[in-house]
Chains A and B, each alone.
Chain A
Amino acid sequence: MDMITIPAVNMTPIMPEIFLSVLAMALLLINVFVPSGQKSYIGYISFIGVIAAAVLVGTGWGMHVESFNGAVVQDNFASFFKMIFLLAAGLAILISDQYMVREECNHGELYPLILFTVVGMMLMAAGTDLMTIFLGLEVMSVSLYVLAGFNRENRKSNEAGLKYFLLGAFSTGFLLYGMALTYGATGSTRIADIATFAAQQSLPSSNVMLLAGMLLMITGFAFKVAAAPFHMWTPDVYEGAPTPMTAFMSAGPKAAGFAAALRILLVSFSTMQADWSQLFWVLAVLTMTVGNITALRQDNIKRMLAYSSIAHAGYCLVGFTAGNPTGTAGIMFYMLSYTFMNIGAFAIIVLVGKKGEPNGNVMDFAGFGFKHPALAVAMSIFLFSLAGMPPTAGFIGKFYLFSGAIQKGYIWLAVIGVLNSAASVYYYLRVMVYMYMKEPTEEFDWLQVSAPIALSLLISVTGTLVLGVVPSIVLQYAQEAIKLI
């Protein structure tokens, strides 16, 4: 019997993942010795760790290193998405502390779990093997199930955790079945090998096993990014989960799902683009319309933003349908802007809420603009950006997504997208109407802005405005990243 020689591996591509995993494990241990009133320090260390990981990712920009026998890669595409995940995690950590103390569930395990989620998301973006992507997705999902149910005393949070777990496990089944069929049809789980195999076929879509594999994988990812008709879990989970975790969930994991789906579809199934484009056309239209129409009728602001996040996934699917550099770079740019504006909006909701969130409705914002003008202006900027108005990041993002579709000749898709975007203005501006045009019914005297939340708001507002005024500073990176995938 021969001995198995473990091949020499290059650790550089997964340095950020290793760093964050080790940090998270160390924090789990340190947490045992931290007295229960001082768990915030775990959060501060995690935040510094996230910044350090961002530096690690940043130093790897421009390099293209494959490692672990082609299971993972370090390229600009992965680095760009890793930055989005770290940004989402950093902002979520900043707004978590005050909320968790208020809800009396400030357990130190929260922050390591956020870091593990980031590790999972990073592996999804960097994985070049279906196995790596699947396991990254599982690490991310399992952490998120716990984070959604983290407020153990709150029944809605329990419901959110359980519902997310059951439906998430169900959707993982689809994804894994798709990967298994793809492996059966092509003989490899490496994304590049699948691409080589598909390129050799005269008509790859006539191979029903490969086609079914692709469709099931798309189903699995559609669940994860909450695209209609696989969006049913979103409103309940987003409403019940602790607000900072809702903010995190709506930005990071969604971007991770898009990253993995982009890599698989653009590399492995590039020869079948005509097939999946049609599918994404339908998915995009459904997702945008269902998300926006349902959001119109929501009074609970977390639920409203949940449906709006479905709609935003729909806008990104427009970029998928196009599948050209403008559209795909648009997805990357849009996910970054969405991270800024959405987590910013949730930070304001964290501030306005009381313990147990009895005041989670749009009406509870009545007169907010008179009592706290600065916070109301910040909220207005986020809402304008979500609605897609210039000069904010949301406008530029939508502009690139839709122009990508027009370049490819999907005029109707762009028209439907713009109409949807117009409809969404109603429910975003409704919040502003309450903030500025209704008499205040509350004094908002319980409202305190802690330093971490102030910092997160500062970052979010700056990001939303800077990306809206000078998008080229980020867009050029996105275009560079998508070119080399």
Chain B
Amino acid sequence: METLFFAIITLVAIVSAILVISCKNPINSALALVMTFFCLATYYVMLDAPFMAAIQVMVYAGAIMVLIVFTIMLLNIRVDATKKHSHKILLGSIIGFFTLINTVYILMKSHAAAPTGPFTGDMIKQIGHTELIGQEMFTKFLLPFEITSILLLVAIVGAVILAKKKL
């Protein structure tokens, strides 16, 4: 049952991801991207990570998508009717296709083992996903968590420098 559900979600995710890059109208692309984000959120739920799923929907499918749609509407991007096809794209697709086949072949015939970590599904159900994430973030990953603040500061300063009319 779970495998079937996984297969359906994966199919939807792949189709909507292809729609993101193949739609001519940017708004349609953006809506297809929302669909992809929702599929990812479903994966998180299936992996016993409800907190991540909620964040995925709120931050990505919600906030970031609103920004993207806003930007598209503000910039008033016209639908690009003429599509350019060059030999480079064709060459790239051929190389990409054969690389894909090669990769799939290697993946099919080899094995991938992974150890079980300390956090099992039962443990998450008992203690709670959000609390476990908080614990990790403030103990083991305290430094990366703090660096994130510097990263965001740099991004804000950079955006102001590049976009402000008069410095």
Write the nearest CB–CB distance from B88 to chain A, whole angstroms.
12
Q: Which of A5, A132, A152 contacts B144 (CB 8 A)?
A: A132
A11-B71 Cα distance, complex, nearest whole Å: 42
Q: With an 8 A cutoff between CB atoms, is B97 at the interface?
A: no
Q: Contacts A4-B134, A135-B144 hold; do A206 and B111 have CB atoms under 8 A apart?
A: yes
The chain B residue with its CB closest to the CB of A109 is: B161
Write the nearest CB–CB distance from B32 to chain A, whole angstroms.
19
Q: Contacts A109-B161, A187-B114, A206-B111 hold; do A139 and B142 have CB atoms under 8 A apart?
A: no
Which residues on A sit within 8 Å (CB–CB) of B90? none
Which residues on A sit within 8 Å (CB–CB) of B111? 206-208
The chain B residue with its CB closest to the CB of A152 is: B162
A135-B151 Cα distance, complex, nearest whole Å: 8
Q: Contacts A69-B140, A123-B147 hold; do A150 and B161 have CB atoms under 8 A apart?
A: yes
Write the nearest CB–CB distance from A27 to chain B, whole angstroms.
11
> Is A208 within 8 A of B107, CB to CB?
yes
Write the nearest CB–CB distance from B79 to chain A, whole angstroms.
22
Q: Which of B112, B115, B147, B158 contacts A132 (CB 8 A)?
A: B147
Which residues on A sit within 8 Å (CB–CB) of B112? 185, 207-209
Q: With an 8 A cutoff between CB atoms, is B153 at the interface?
A: yes
Chain B positions 117-167 with a Cβ under 8 Å from a chain A Cβ: 117, 131, 134-135, 138-144, 147-148, 150-151, 153-155, 157-158, 161-162, 167
Which residues on A sit within 8 Å (CB–CB) of B135? 4
> Is B131 within 8 A of A1, CB to CB?
yes
A300-B148 Cα distance, complex, nearest whole Å: 39
Q: With an 8 A cutoff between CB atoms, is B4 at the interface?
A: no
Chain A positions 200-233 with a Cβ under 8 Å from a chain B Cβ: 206-209
> Is A112 within 8 A of B147, CB to CB?
no
Interface hit among A141-149, A327-335, A341-349: A141-149
> Is A142 within 8 A of B155, CB to CB?
yes
Q: With an 8 A cutoff between CB atoms, is A72 at the interface?
A: yes
Q: Contacts A4-B139, A185-B112 hold; do A71 and B144 have CB atoms under 8 A apart?
A: yes
> Is A135 within 8 A of B139, CB to CB?
no
Q: With an 8 A cutoff between CB atoms, is B89 at the interface?
A: no
> Is A149 within 8 A of B110, CB to CB?
no
Query: What number of A residues sit within 8 Å (CB to CB) of B?
Result: 48
Which residues on B sit within 8 Å (CB–CB) of A161? 162
Q: With an 8 A cutoff between CB atoms, is A7 at the interface?
A: yes
Q: Is the interface of A mostly helix, strand, loop or mixed?
A: helix
Which residues on A sit within 8 Å (CB–CB) of B144? 71, 129, 131-132, 134-135
A273-B167 Cα distance, complex, nearest whole Å: 50
> Is A131 within 8 A of B139, CB to CB?
no
Q: With an 8 A cutoff between CB atoms, is A41 at the interface?
A: no
Q: With an 8 A cutoff between CB atoms, is B106 at the interface?
A: yes
Q: With an 8 A cutoff between CB atoms, is B1 at the interface?
A: no
Q: Which of A69, A145, A146 contacts B142 (CB 8 A)?
A: A69
Which residues on B sit within 8 Å (CB–CB) of A5? 139
> Is A116 within 8 A of B143, CB to CB?
no
Q: With an 8 A cutoff between CB atoms, is B81 at the interface?
A: no
Write the nearest CB–CB distance from A176 to chain B, whole angstroms.
13
A67-B146 Cα distance, complex, nearest whole Å: 14
> Is B131 within 8 A of A187, CB to CB?
no
Which residues on B sit within 8 Å (CB–CB) of A207? 111-113
Which residues on B sit within 8 Å (CB–CB) of A366? none
Write the nearest CB–CB distance from B92 to chain A, whole angstroms.
12
The chain A residue with its CB closest to the CB of B149 is: A21
Write the nearest CB–CB distance from B98 to chain A, whole angstroms.
16
Chain A positions 1-36 with a Cβ under 8 Å from a chain B Cβ: 1, 4-7, 9, 14, 21, 25, 28
Q: Contacts A4-B139, A132-B143 hold; do A186 and B115 have CB atoms under 8 A apart?
A: yes
> Is A116 within 8 A of B150, CB to CB?
yes
Q: With an 8 A cutoff between CB atoms, is A138 at the interface?
A: yes
A132-B141 Cα distance, complex, nearest whole Å: 9
> Is A113 within 8 A of B157, CB to CB?
yes
The chain A residue with its CB closest to the CB of B137 is: A4
Q: Contacts A71-B142, A186-B115 hold; do A142 and B161 have CB atoms under 8 A apart?
A: no
Q: Which of A69, A120, A146 contacts B158 (CB 8 A)?
A: A146
Chain A positions 376-434 with a Cβ under 8 Å from a chain B Cβ: none
Q: Contacts A142-B158, A143-B158, A161-B162 hold; do A208 and B106 have CB atoms under 8 A apart?
A: yes
A255-B162 Cα distance, complex, nearest whole Å: 26
> Is A69 within 8 A of B150, CB to CB?
no
Q: With an 8 A cutoff between CB atoms, is A58 at the interface?
A: no
Write the nearest CB–CB distance from B107 to chain A, whole angstroms.
6
Write the nearest CB–CB distance from B132 to chain A, whole angstroms.
10
Which residues on B sit within 8 Å (CB–CB) of A134? 144
Q: With an 8 A cutoff between CB atoms, is A356 at the interface?
A: no
A208-B151 Cα distance, complex, nearest whole Å: 33
Q: With an 8 A cutoff between CB atoms, is A253 at the interface?
A: no
Query: Hey, what's the 0/1 contact readout for A43-71 against B, CB within 8 Å counting as 1?
Result: 00000000000000000000000011101
Which residues on B sit within 8 Å (CB–CB) of A129? 141, 143-144
A126-B137 Cα distance, complex, nearest whole Å: 20
> Is A187 within 8 A of B150, CB to CB?
no
A131-B112 Cα distance, complex, nearest whole Å: 23
Which residues on A sit within 8 Å (CB–CB) of B158? 113, 142-143, 145-146
Q: With an 8 A cutoff between CB atoms, is A136 at the interface?
A: yes
Query: Hey, what's the 0/1 contact readout for A176-207 against B, CB within 8 Å counting as 1?
Result: 00000000111100000000010000000011
Residues of A within 8 A of B (CB): 1, 4-7, 9, 14, 21, 25, 28, 67-69, 71-72, 107, 109, 112-113, 116, 119-120, 123, 129, 131-132, 134-136, 138-139, 142-143, 145-146, 149-150, 152, 161, 184-187, 197, 206-209
The 4 closest A-B pairs by CB, nearest first: A146-B158, A209-B112, A131-B144, A68-B143
A-B contact pairs, 11 of them (CB 8 A): A25-B153, A69-B139, A69-B140, A71-B140, A107-B167, A113-B157, A113-B158, A120-B150, A146-B161, A152-B162, A152-B167
